[in-house]
Amino acid sequence: GKGNHRHFMHKEIYEQPAVIGDTLSTFVNPATRTVALQDLPFDLAEVSRVTIVACGTSFHSALVAKYWFEKLARISVEVDIASEFRYRAAELPEGGLALFISQSGETADTLAALRYAKSQKQHVAVLVNQPESSMAREADVMLQTLCGPEIGVASTKAFTAQLAVLACFAIAVARARGKIDTQREAELATALAEVPSRIAEVLADEEAIEALGKSLIDARDVLYLGRGTSYPLALEGALKLKELSYIHAEGYAAGEMKHGPIALIDDQMPVIVVAPHDELFEKTASNVQEVLARGGKVIMMSDAAGIAAFPGKTLATIRLPDCDPFVAPILYSIPLQLLAYHTAVHKGTDVDQPRNLAKSVTVE
Ligand code: F6R
């Protein structure tokens, strides 16, 4: 049941500290501050290329993973949506690693993409929440999120738990390839181990986010901006808002805004900016200035340092706890989920069962 929550989605948002803690406990050893995967039927050090394929929200976690794998493990990563990948005759060098991400393990396009990768002699790994699923059965390796059932049609806890596993996977590949030293691994293991309590801190800020959600209900369009790993977060925030509240929303790479969408900005346009104070912060901040100069209503998600460093005048800020930038995508997912949730609740839409959507898309 929903316990004392009004919707399954709300309950599942609040389950995140626990389910991410459970999921991480399979991979992170807090005593030795190391990260390890299960034994694999191939050598990670020999993998020359990684291909990650998924749909929807799971595709957004794949995009975050691309940044992590490239930066930490210095390996070439290609990411695609399954409905494109399966039909485009992708050239996959033998011995590559193909990873399929799916909460349900049953999404038709992702399963077809997996079968294609198998036919191209890839090592096939899946990251699923349902261990009894078609994808889990057909893969060489199964990685699992330990979320329990996700009832709300809009994915929340499965997404953040996918990110937690992918972070561990990236660290494991980095170590196999000799690209990370013991000290950095220890820092990252600690940062990951602290994620559940940091999420709990973000959840404690729900009231402020609820008020912001209420302020969005009459918006016609909402733009989400981010750079680096915050770019896929912008895509995910926009997807959550549109599917739950039926308000048109778009996620954009902050630096790409001046190549088109800036034409949309006027004083009616809410712009949500995902901007932890990381190495790209100054770049994002200058894009935000361009939005402000055109009257856009900026809602900025950042940490204390980012909020202090930002020179412009935002409509509102959502302050996130300090964290290693590596784990920021997991934390910044939470206010994006809550914002979409509360906008929808105030609009009166069916949060757990948005129109036209199905939890598991088993037809293409
Ligand atoms: C959006 C959402 C969908 C799913 C997509 C893939 O909130 O939940 O976009 O992420 O249908 O589903 P899985 O992960 O089961 O393959």
Per-residue pLDDT of the chain (364 residues; tens, 9 = 90+): 899 999 999 999 999 999 999 999 999 999 999 999 999 999 999 999 999 999 999 999 999 999 999 999 999 999 999 999 999 999 999 889 999 999 999 999 999 999 999 999 999 999 999 999 999 999 999 999 999 999 999 999 999 999 999 999 999 999 999 999 999 999 999 999 999 999 999 999 999 999 999 999 999 999 999 999 999 999 999 999 999 999 999 999 999 999 999 999 999 999 999 999 999 999 999 999 999 999 999 999 999 999 999 988 899 999 999 999 999 999 999 999 999 999 999 999 989 999 899 888 888 8
Q: Is the CB of 107 under 6 A from ligand 1?
A: yes
- Cα(69)–Cα(113) distance, rounded to whole angstroms? 21
CA geometry: angle 200, 201, 205, nearest 5 deg = 110
Q: Is the CB of 247 under 6 A from ligand 1?
A: no
Among the atoms of ligand 1, which is closest to the Cα of residue 361? 11
**The pLDDT of residue 364:** 87
DSSP category for residue 313: -
For residue 250, give the amino acid letter.
E
Q: Is the CB of 154 under 6 A from ligand 1?
A: yes
Query: In the chain, how long is the greatest CA-to-CA distance?
Result: 56
Q: Tokens 């939470």 belong to which residue? A: 334
ipTM over 0.95: yes
**The pLDDT of residue 347:** 96
**The pLDDT of residue 143:** 98
Nearest to 225, CA basis, from 163, 284, 292: 284
Q: Is 33 left (phi over 0), alpha (psi -120 to 50) or beta?
A: left
**The pLDDT of residue 363:** 85
Q: How many CB atoms lie within 10 A of CB 130?
A: 20
Q: For a ligand 1 pocket test, name from 155, 156, 236, 352 the mutation site with the most ligand atoms within 8 angstroms of its C-beta.
A: 155
Catalytic residue among 71, 179, 214, 359: 359
**The pLDDT of residue 332:** 98
**The pLDDT of residue 66:** 98
Q: How far is CA 270 from CA 183, 214, 299, in A?
A: 41, 12, 7
Nearest to 96, CA basis, from 112, 113, 118: 118
Read off the tokens for 170.
Answer: 């990236």
**The pLDDT of residue 299:** 97
- Cα(69)–Cα(324) distance, rounded to whole angstroms? 16
Q: How many CB atoms lie within 10 A of CB 200?
A: 15
Among the atoms of ligand 1, which is closest to the Cα of residue 110? 16
Instruction: Please name the residues in contact with 175: beta carbons below 8 A apart, sequence gap of 6 or more.
Output: 35, 185
Q: Is the CB of 361 under 6 A from ligand 1?
A: yes
**The pLDDT of residue 224:** 98
Nearest to 251, CA basis, from 276, 221, 280, 282: 221
Q: Is the CB of 102 under 6 A from ligand 1?
A: yes
**The pLDDT of residue 118:** 97
Helix locations, the chain, DSSP H? 8-14, 16-25, 56-68, 82-85, 108-119, 134-138, 157-176, 182-193, 195-203, 206-215, 230-245, 281-293, 304-309, 328-347
179 has catalytic annotation: no
